[in-house]
Amino acid sequence: MVQSSDIVEAHGLKFQLMLSEAAIAQRVREMALELQRDYADKKPLLLGLLNGAFIFAADLVRQCTFPLEISFVRVSSYDGLQSSGRLTTHFGPDLELRGRHVLLVEDIIDSGQTLHQFLPQLQSLQPASLRVAVLLVKPEALECEVPLDYVGFEIPNKFVIGYGLDYDGLGRNLPGIYQLKE
Ligand code: 5GP
Ligand code: MG
């Protein structure tokens, strides 16, 4: 990872800064206020999707001042820069969603395929409610209907890294979000 001002490089590709650390922090605070309004008396279970959402989830919960629980599940469908289409889920053995107000916390929605396949699996575990908080959405890439209850930013249809998102393992630790340069 080579870093110079607003350009970073990963595996030989260049990425340009799109969202600064400060801009993300501001939006995450606003999202937490929206959650406060809807969940303050519900003791929700926030369910972060690994690996990408680990930083967003960590920042979001620390801006929430009401009682909540947080857990993680691992779902993967990506292979480098492209969605592989196949979804693999790895539930923890003791994930109990029945009767809980569940808020899925996701880094980015691209085609929407991941959540389109995963939400029915969660719904079958009979939560009291099920909503989605996502930091980034690429509206031009959406292929299926996905509920977008809390959205951080709508972004262009370009591959991004940083703030938890990687390109073949690199870039997750960048504090800002960077988009692939043409
Ligand atoms: P979808 O199923 O909506 O096409 O893609 C969802 C998942 O693909 C996201 O949770 C994320 O892990 C990965 N993904 C989608 N777009 C990007 C992107 O621009 N950059 C990175 N690093 N991952 C992405
Ligand atoms: Mg993800």
Mutation to probe ligand 1, out of 78, 119, 134, 143 (largest number of atoms < 8 A from CB): 78
Q: What is the mean pLDDT of the segment spanning 31-56?
A: 97
Mean predicted lDDT score pLDDT of the chain: 92
pLDDT, one tens digit per residue, over 25-34 is 999 999 999 9
Report which of residues 182 and 57 the model is more confident about: 57
Instruction: Give dist(CA 24, CA 63) in Å, integer.
Output: 13
pLDDT, one tens digit per residue, over 165-179 is 999 999 999 999 999
Q: What is the mean pLDDT of the segment spanning 45-50?
A: 96
The structure tokens listed for 49 are 């999707």
Judged by phi (left if over 0) then psi (alpha if -120 to 50, else beta), residue 43 lies in: left
Does residue 37 surpass a pLDDT of 80? yes
Look at residue 16 and give its three-state secondary structure.
Answer: strand
Model-level pTM? Answer: 0.92
By percentage, how much of the chain surpasses pLDDT 70? 90
Strand 160-161's sheet: what is its strand order? 2-4, 7-10, 13-19, 177-180, 160-161
Does residue 162 surpass a pLDDT of 70? yes
pLDDT band at 154 (very low <50, low <70, confident <90, very high): very high
pLDDT, one tens digit per residue, over 60-117 is 999 999 999 999 999 876 555 565 566 777 776 678 999 999 999 999 999 999 999 9
Report, in this order, helix, strand and coil percent for the chain, each rounded to 5. Answer: 25, 40, 35
- Answer yes or no: is the C-beta of 108 below 6 A from any ligand 1 atom: yes
- Please tell me the distance between residue 79's alpha carbon and the centre of ligand 1 in angstroms: 10
Mutation to probe ligand 1, out of 109, 110, 143 (largest number of atoms < 8 A from CB): 110
Query: Of all protein residues, whose CA lies closest to atom 9 belonging to ligand 1?
Result: 108
